Amino acid sequence: MRKIKNPILRGFNPDPSIIRVGEDFYIATSTFEWFPGVQIHHSKDLINWKLVGRVLTRTSQLNMLGVPDSCGVWAPCLSYDKGTFYLVFSNVKSFDGTWKDTPNYLVTTDDILGEWSDPIHLNSSGFDGSLFHDEDGRKWYVSMLVDHRKGKFFGGIILQEYDPKLKRLIGKAEHIFEGTELGITEGPHIYKKDGYFYMALAEGGTEYNHAFTLVRSKSLHGPFEIHPQNPLVSSRNNPELKLQKAGHGDLVQTQNGDWYAVFLVGRPLTRRGRCITGRETAIQKVIWEKDEWPVLAQGGNEPSELVDAPQLEEFPFKKEPGRDDFDTSFLNIHFQSLRLPVTEEWLSLKERPGFLRMRGKESLSSFHYQSLIARRLQHKHVEASTCLEFEPDYFQQMAGLVCYYNTSHYHYLHLTSNDDGSQKLLNLLSCDQFNITEPLEEMVDLTGEKRIFLKADFNGADLQFYYAIKEGEWIKIGPVLDGSILSDDYVQYLNNRYRPAFTGAFVGIACQDLSGGQKHADFDWFEYREVEIDKY
């Protein structure tokens, strides 16, 4: 029997929401502060997946200017009813501290790969909402409730009707479930089967105690009983599993009647250690007999690295090239920017054909206007490299190759200048908790060199940078750096204080002009190469 290899969506693709429309499967995942918002992956066989689009592509849909790290787009819910695709999402504005600002929106389209509507504001009382389309035509919005009183935070699950004609929620929100003993109850999805309303939940927190739980009721309004073998999927009791943090999931039925669950996982570098590839998406086959609770096909409740595939015709996608020569007029789909869309004002593939021209903006610590594009780190050992032409004339002008987690955690190999522009210098910065260090004893003088090649060898926790004057003749620069600080697990509990950290490591290119002059840099190409195949 053919097998599905987990995770199916590698590198920072959490909170999966899955649907099937005819013979096509689609998964939507969270993107947080990265723009455009909400990744859409497509498959026809549940084995092979391809990133095919993003939903929130305009600032009229998604304005994240100034949002803190790991805020922005949370837990999208993708659904389909009578020819229309629906997507519910949160655009979180603040989360660090007692108060949580979490406005929730709905967008629609009749073409999942086309333009989506401008958003309809639903409410701001919680996050991780979803839309349930009942058989009688009524639609219901369900989400967790934020309760700030006395440090409670998770206030249970609420339900409220959505009127598609009025384009707003109607009636009063009602509490329908307080959560199981696992606590931290969020991410609800509702399904109707055999006269029961089933509700999937994310519980236990999105770390090593995470779980995908299930409850059901004969009424949409409850009361709900808990799955007798709860949770459906979790890694919480087995620290030896390769796939950890299993939880926050969704269910889908194939056209042949088979059921599968998708859910987020993490792949730590060490036993329950740091996950540089962030929270990813995995899949398990589910047995769901009439009137019975769904259970994992292989038994138990732990995620498996290999899963039986459905009896569907295999549909592989063409392997994508690792090198982007910037010879098209549009940006490669794997790149994203921070908080705001790419515009000709700061990035152009047209001004100098065959090059990506980037104009310097604010620092890597800015929540506002950065000139940076990057792609997810999807494998444990990769090499990312680029070719740069840059003529800085002041020390506040920089451009280069960045390994990035958030505004306070990154490693940056870049060209810059001395005070009067008479020297072109190669420097290395490391930022940890906003504390910037310069590991080089002395910057490398590259005055007179027009083309400079930069490379990052990211091997688990070990990150080594290189440069070259002639392509392929790499020279090591700086010490081996700690790449594992670019992870949720490192950032989340620094100095014994919790802070939002929900993304993953990225590799990309950036340009700064802290003088405000918008000095440009030209990048000839960017390459992402997996050095050795991940064993899982």
Asked whether 79 and 94 are in contact (CB, 8 A), the reply is no
185: which 2 tokens? 């109850």
Alpha-carbon distance 404 to 273, whole Å? 19
Cis check: omega of the bond before 36, within 30 degrees of 0: yes
Q: Among this protein's residues, is 186 annotated catalytic?
A: yes
Cα 141 to its chain centre, rounded Å, is 23
Please, is 314 exposed, middle or buried when counting C-beta atoms within 10 Å of its C-beta (0-12, 13-18, 19+)? exposed
Alpha-carbon distance 72 to 168, whole Å? 22
Buried b (16+ CB within 10 A) or exposed e, 344-357: eebbbbeeeeebbb
Asked whether 249 and 261 are in contact (CB, 8 A), the reply is yes
How far CA 156 is from CA of 133, 134, 180, 187, 276, in Å, comes to: 21, 22, 10, 11, 31
Query: Hunting for tokens 């696992």 — which residue is that?
Result: 182
Catalytic residue among 69, 186, 383, 522: 186
| DSSP secondary structure code for residue 491 in this structure | H
Q: 367's torsion region: left (phi>0), alpha (psi -120 to 50) or beta?
A: alpha
Active site residues: 15, 186
